[in-house]
């Protein structure tokens, strides 16, 4: 069973031009495990900040961020890194692949942090790449792949260690419509077939249609959560 995510009274502020800008303001939010969420809201509403806190990339100023039974606010930088390695996968708008590594090596990156043998790592990376339909592009470097293929490599990397939570920040922002649809279908498959909890930041209502629920943020607070009518 995928792990639930709970945020309690989470506040996060940034210093900008000498002023404190509160991006998340006493946010209360509960997300069920195994659900595909889209996170929407105007620019500056705190979507990416929320994603970073849930992914353990950043620390909340106050409040608690629970993923399963782990309170991320209690972990230091190294502990968060170790937690990320086994519990969460990221998919970014800019794909964020290491350009000097091949697709397979990029997917193997998080697997290097596991106790798997070299052979097992390789096999798992290949399985992940086959799952995203890139079995024939394993030895290509990112510069030799299309945008859609790069994003699929990023998704393969995100699922390589079999984390329960996948966080995607505008994963289709740099893709054309048909490629974006393919990537969204892939995320949907990961949710439906593998039971991954997915939290996807998007500006695009059509992308949000692929999610089970849409969370609306407004000025750092929860606006509302809509169940997607097209999804059950």
Partner 1 sequence: MALVPLRYNLRSLFVRSSATALTVCAIGATVAVLAGMLSLQQGFATLFQERGRGDVAVFLRKGATSEGESGLTREQCDILSKEVPEVARDQKGAPLASAEMFLAMRLRKFDGGETNVAIRGVEPMSFAVQGDDLRIVDGKRFEPGSDELIVGEGLLDRIANCRVGDVLRVNTVTFRIVGTFAGKGGYRSEIWGDLDRLGKALERPVASRVVAVVRPDTDFAALTERYASDLRVQPKAQSEREYLKSQTGDLSDRFTLLGGFLAVIMGVGAIFTGTNSLLGTISARSHEIGILKAVGYRPFAIFVAFLFEAVLLGVLGGLAGCLLVLPFQGAETGTMNQTFSEVTFAFRTTPAVMLDAIAFAAGLGLLGGMVPAWRAARMTPTQALRRA
- Burial zone of 148 (CB within 10 Å; 0-12 exposed, 13-18 middle, 19+ buried): buried
Count the site residues for partner 1 by CB under 8 A: 28
Binding mask 14-53 for partner 1 (x = CB under 8 A): --------------------------------------x-
Q: Please give the Cα distance from 98 to 96 (Å, whole number).
A: 7
Question: Going edge to edge, which strands form the sheet with 197-201?
Answer: 88-91, 165-169, 197-201, 36-40, 213-218, 221-227
Cβ-contact 88, 113 below 8 angstroms: no
Pick 32 or 82: Cβ nearer partner 1 = 82
**Taking CB under 8 A as the criterion, which residues in 156-185 touch partner 1?**
157
Pick 109 or 182: Cβ nearer partner 1 = 109
* Sole window of 84-92, 179-187, 203-211, 219-227 interacting with partner 1 (rule: CB under 8 A): 84-92
CA separation, residue 64 to residues 6, 16, 54 (Å)? 8, 24, 10
Residue 230 parent element (H or E): none
Closest CA to 56 of 44, 42, 68: 68
Cβ-contact 207, 177 below 8 angstroms: no
Tell me how far, at minimum, the Cβ of 33 lies from partner 1, in Å. Answer: 21
Tell me how far, at minimum, the Cβ of 6 lies from partner 1, in Å. Answer: 21
**Taking CB under 8 A as the criterion, which residues in 104-123 touch partner 1?**
105, 108-110, 112-113
Tell me how far, at minimum, the Cβ of 175 lies from partner 1, in Å. Answer: 18
Q: What residues line the site for partner 1 (CB under 8 A)?
A: 52, 55, 57-58, 77-78, 81-86, 90, 92, 94, 96-101, 105, 108-110, 112-113, 157
């Amino acid at each position: 069973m995928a792990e639930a995510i709970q945020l309690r009274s989470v506040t996060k502020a940034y210093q900008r031009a000498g002023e404190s800008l509160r991006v998340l303001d006493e946010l209360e939010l509960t997300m069920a495990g195994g659900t595909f969420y889209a996170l929407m809201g105007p620019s500056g509403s705190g979507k990416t900040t929320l994603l970073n806190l849930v992914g353990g990339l950043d620390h909340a100023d106050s409040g608690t961020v629970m993923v399963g039974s782990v309170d991320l606010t209690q972990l230091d930088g190294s502990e968060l890194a170790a937690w990320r390695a086994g519990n969460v996968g990221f998919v970014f708008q800019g794909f964020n692949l290491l350009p000097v590594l091949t697709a397979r090596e990029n997917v193997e990156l998080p697997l290097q942090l596991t106790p798997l043998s070299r052979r097992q790592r390789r096999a798992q990376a290949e399985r992940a790449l086959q799952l995203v339909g890139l079995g024939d592009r394993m030895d290509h470097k990112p510069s030799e792949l299309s945008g859609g293929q790069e994003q699929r490599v990023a998704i393969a990397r995100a699922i390589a260690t079999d984390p329960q939570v996948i966080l995607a920040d505008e994963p289709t922002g740099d893709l054309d419509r048909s490629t974006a649809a393919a990537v969204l279908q892939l995320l949907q498959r990961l949710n439906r077939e593998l039971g991954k909890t997915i939290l996807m930041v998007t500006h695009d209502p059509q992308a949000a249609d692929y999610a089970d629920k849409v969370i609306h943020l407004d000025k750092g607070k929860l606006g509302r959560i809509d169940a997607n009518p097209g999804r059950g």
